[in-house]
């Protein structure tokens, strides 16, 4: 289908669905979400010429996965955002079945996008890694494929993350070999048009790992402190007692990338977020030296199509923007300081948990310190349990109705919880762990406190963002 025909269909869907989607009570007030249709992976996150750009996987035609587009937002402050022209549409032979995920770089003053062109056949699929450029008006020009499908891999090779090191460009790609094992490939480029495959630097049966998933998606390799951090999303890890409980995982390893030998020695795999919905994170290096992250508050191949927002014509949100730190070899995540500008009315609560008044958490920030055990019931749809063992986050599965639980083990000293109508982002001990989840309360956006623990709670109402 031509780009012109796709735009006509998207405009028709927006005309039919926009009012209903906009007025949905689960629509976030300060998280980024699609006007209509389905949003997933953050793409092309970059600070360029002083402004932040966040592209995103988008199907504006329906609440379904399909031939993805790239939407585009721009911001001066990571808080208020502006819609930009649609960046990429799947209208060419090399991206006919979707402009899949990728990244953005500053190529001598030109904002350049690297993405995966997905092409499906009756007998299978292939993938092209493609280049495009963005002009000052936000218009995108495709340059076409720069890397074809490497020998020895299935058509599941995607999600280029590109950066500059020394005199060369480097790229990591998520891949699946012919034995259906997940891998990360490293490329080097003299330019963004010319690339050489250096080899596999991580994956199943490498660097001390055994069998570790059938596909690794969304790789992101960056330096943080004295370490090189590789984030990725391994698919196919079997669930264990209190970890790897989602259908697919999002996590990281730390180590050292040897650029001259194209080798990466790393340590153990750690989950990046322990909640029900968090996937496909992408980072960028800000002008001030901060390593910043957005993630998709969703989970593929699980229960996403049971979300009630689907019936309202839209699906999924982005996480809040987060800053990353490396502390004793572990990634810490915290909301960026800029989000404090959304704080409105404040109150402090200090009482036994079961004596606290019901709290409005439609759009709210909570900072909690406590002694003893307590629980927080979010609108009858999500239960947070805090005791000497750590945290448990509990809800009913929207497909099966069964109770499901996520865990963090350790001593809870402080919690910061960001609430936005249908989402919770829980930050433990100044970012030592996070638990991100969607929830859809039928009883209103309220929090009921339970238990004998003594709590001190700072509560802020959060204003809505500007999205124009």
Active site residues: 41
Name the token pair of 241: 């007692």
Own/partner pairs, 12-19, CB within 8 angstroms, 24+ separation: 13/37, 13/60, 13/61, 13/62, 13/313, 14/60, 16/313, 17/312, 17/313, 17/314, 18/313
Specify the 3-state DSSP secondary structure of 208: coil
Specify the 3-state DSSP secondary structure of 9: helix
Name the token pair of 53: 């750009």
Name the token pair of 192: 């963004």
Determine contact, residues 389/409, Cβ cutoff 8 Å: yes
User: What CA–CA distance (Å, rounded) separates 464 from 29?
Assistant: 5
Looking at residue 193, what DSSP letter applies? T
Instruction: Of 170, 268, 152, give the one whose Cα is nearest residue 221.
Output: 170
Beta-sheet pairing, 415-420 with 317-318: unpaired
User: What are the Cα distances from residue 18, in Å, to 21, 137, 312, 334?
Assistant: 5, 25, 9, 33
- Mind spelling out the 3-state secondary structure of 343-391? EEEEEEEEEEHHHCCCEECCEEEEEEEEECCEEEEECCCEEEEEECCEE
User: What are the Cα distances from residue 57, in Å, to 41, 201, 272?
Assistant: 5, 27, 21
Specify the 3-state DSSP secondary structure of 88: strand
Provide the β-strand partners of residue 68: none
User: What CA–CA distance (Å, rounded) separates 41 from 35?
Assistant: 16
Specify the 3-state DSSP secondary structure of 13: helix
Instruction: Of 256, 255, 252, 287, give the one whose Cα is nearest residue 270.
Output: 252
Determine contact, residues 3/89, Cβ cutoff 8 Å: yes
Provide the β-strand partners of residue 74: 53, 82
């Amino acid at each position: 289908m031509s780009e012109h025909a796709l735009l006509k269909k998207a405009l028709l869907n927006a005309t039919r669905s926009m009012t209903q989607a906009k007025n949905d009570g689960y629509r976030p007030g300060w998280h980024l979400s699609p006007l209509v249709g389905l949003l997933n992976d953050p793409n092309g996150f970059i600070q360029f010429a002083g402004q932040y750009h966040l592209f995103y996987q988008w199907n504006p035609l329906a609440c379904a996965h399909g031939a993805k587009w790239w939407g585009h937002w721009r911001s001066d402050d990571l808080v208020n955002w502006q819609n930009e022209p649609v960046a990429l549409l799947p209208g060419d032979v090399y991206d006919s079945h979707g402009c899949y995920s990728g990244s953005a770089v500053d190529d001598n003053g030109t904002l350049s996008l690297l993405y995966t062109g997905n092409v499906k056949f009756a007998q299978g699929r292939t993938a092209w890694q493609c280049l495009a450029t963005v002009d000052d008006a936000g218009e995108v020009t495709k340059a076409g494929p720069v890397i074809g499908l490497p020998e020895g891999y299935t058509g599941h090779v995607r999600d280029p993350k590109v950066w500059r090191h020394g005199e060369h460009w480097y790229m990591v790609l998520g891949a699946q070999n012919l034995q259906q094992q997940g891998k990360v490939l490293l490329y080097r480029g003299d330019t963004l048009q010319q690339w050489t495959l250096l080899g596999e630097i991580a994956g199943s049966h490498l660097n001390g790992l055994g069998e570790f998933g059938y596909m690794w998606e969304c790789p992101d390799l960056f330096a943080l402190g004295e370490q090189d951090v590789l984030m990725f999303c391994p698919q196919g890890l079997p669930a264990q007692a209190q970890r790897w409980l989602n259908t697919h995982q999002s996590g990281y390893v730390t180590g050292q990338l040897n650029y001259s030998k194209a080798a990466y020695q790393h340590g153990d795999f750690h989950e990046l977020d322990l909640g029900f919905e968090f996937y496909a994170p992408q980072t960028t290096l800000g002008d001030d030296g901060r390593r910043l992250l957005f993630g998709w508050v969703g989970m593929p191949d699980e229960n996403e199509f049971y979300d009630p927002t689907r019936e309202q014509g839209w699906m999924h949100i982005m996480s809040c923007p987060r800053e990353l730190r490396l502390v004793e070899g572990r990634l810490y995540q915290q909301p960026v300081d800029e989000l404090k500008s959304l704080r409105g009315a404040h109150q402090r609560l200090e009482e036994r948990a079961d004596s606290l008044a019901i709290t409005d958490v439609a759009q709210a920030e909570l900072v909690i310190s406590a002694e003893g055990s307590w629980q927080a019931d979010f609108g009858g749809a999500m239960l947070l349990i805090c005791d000497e063992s750590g945290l448990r986050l509990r809800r009913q599965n929207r497909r099966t109705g069964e109770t499901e639980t996520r865990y963090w083990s350790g001593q809870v000293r402080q919690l910061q919880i960001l609430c936005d109508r249908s989402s919770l982002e829980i930050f433990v001990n100044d970012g030592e762990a996070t638990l991100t989840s969607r929830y859809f309360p039928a009883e209103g956006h309220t929090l009921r406190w339970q238990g004998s623990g003594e709590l001190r709670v700072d509560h802020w109402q959060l204003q809505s963002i500007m999205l124009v």
